[in-house]
Amino acid sequence: MRIAVSALFLLAAWQAARAYPLDGAEKTGIRRLAGYRLVHEGKVKGTVRLPSGALRSEAEVALRLKGVNDGFDIKPGNPQDPYLAAGIQRIFGGRDPSYNLAILDISDPKTPRYGALRPEVKRIPGSVGKLLVATGLFEALRMIYPDDIAARQRVLKQTVVAADKFIISDGKTVPFYNPSDPAVVNRRLQIGDRFNLWEWTDHMLSQSSNAAASMVWKQVILLRHFGVRYPVATEEAEAFLRTTPKAELGRLSLESVEAALPPAGLDTEKLRIGTFFTRHASSVVPGTASYACPSELLRWLVRLEQGRLVDAWSSLELKKLLYFSRPRYRYASSPALNQAAVFFKSGSLFECVPEEGYKCGQYRGNKTNLMHSVAVVESGRRVYLVALMSNVLKVNSAVDHQSIATEIERLIQNRPE
């Protein structure tokens, strides 16, 4: 997400992440999954060491509300569970008032328990908005192949896309691995790098690559325009983008990432990603405002668990793409979650201005310091959904979110039976 700045400098960063269960490499063609598995086994050079909660298989990933509580919803004024409400007050009572939170305990899926703190406050979503790009991709596939899951899988695995100018510019790295390589190598994307659609989507969500996000979003637009003809020749795709009026491209862009939301009952007045994640892409496709709030992000997670984001197959694949099979960071780095399965996305935007006596640092902006975390945590017999947003200036929000995760885990685990 780019934001205009007239300040001394703008810092925007997302620490690397890795997602999808490691045994999904053959099915998806996500090559780095095979590389990380071999690193973890000590057969390939690398530093990936995974906590026990990051080692689940594909078969162990399930939708917790599907078929059990398909009609559950959260609306403004939804009554809060007294235990959660009291716990949230204890955790946040002495913290900055910019914190906004929504929690849903679905340990008993038939009786979800809700708690919140200023859940309707909207902020720029940052990297969390990439969830909507992924949702748009699966909706485009459903639109073209409504009754053919195999065809959707084939498009994701067999469509190989070369990086183009839409990756300009992004400083983040992504992992590169091919069979027989001696190591997994991380480097910045370069024009000409080739990945299948599943890999591009994995880079977008697991590495939080802005370049990958712009590449995926571009493919979603092309999928919706060309339908069963996709993928078309590069020349035809570029001609479409070049000759389509800018206003129409902007409309198609927004439609491509929002089409699945209203059918799932989600409110695009509370949840929107409106602008591409890289400079060049934004110069080609005009954008609009982006925003999110904890209540609607939590509802996105609810729809995921109900199998109602696009459809059940798409929801399950999205959840796998969010599985945190890596050494953890920010909210997910809490030691209390080491044995838990965590399905996670975070984002940050921080901006600094000159201030006497203050040295700006990563995640410690003094003008803007947004930090957002969205997670499904499966910890023993407890399962809960969290959407946390904040704008606490001059503090390391990555560390603070880690501490909050520990306190929320204790709150959920300590509920009297």
Prediction pTM value: 0.92
SS3 annotation, the chain: CCCCCCCCEEECCCCCCCECCHHHHHHHCCHHHHHHHHHHCCCCECCCCCCHHHCCCHHHCCCCCCCCCCCCCCCCCCCCCHHHHHHHHHHHCCCCCCCEEEEEECCCCCCCEEEEECCCCCECCHHHHHHHHHHHHHHHHHHHCCCCHHHHHHHHHHCEEECCHHHCCCCCEEEECCCCCCECEEEECCCCCEEEHHHHHHHHHHCCCHHHHHHHHHHHHHHHHHHHHCCCCHHHHHHHHHHCCHHHHHHHHHHHHHCCCHHHCCCCCCCECCCCCCHHHHHHCCCCCCEECHHHHHHHHHHHHHCCCCCHHHHHHHHHHCEECCCCCHHHHCHHHCCCEEEEEEEEEEEECCCCCCCCCCCCCCCEEEEEEEEEEEECCEEEEEEEEEECCCCCHHHHHHHHHHHHHHHHHCCCC
pLDDT value of residue 15: 32
- Per-residue pLDDT of the chain in tens (417 residues, 90 and over written 9): 333 333 332 333 323 334 688 889 999 999 988 988 888 888 888 777 778 888 899 999 999 999 999 999 998 888 999 999 999 999 999 999 999 999 999 999 999 999 999 999 999 999 999 999 999 999 999 999 999 999 999 999 999 999 999 999 888 899 999 998 999 998 999 999 999 999 999 999 988 999 999 999 999 999 999 999 999 999 999 999 999 999 999 999 999 999 999 999 999 999 999 999 999 999 999 999 999 999 999 999 999 999 999 999 999 999 999 997 666 778 888 999 999 999 999 988 888 998 988 888 788 888 999 999 999 999 999 999 999 999 999 988 888 999 999 999 999 999 997
Q: Where are the domains of the chain?
A: 9-413
pLDDT value of residue 19: 64
For domain 9-413, the CATH class is: alpha beta
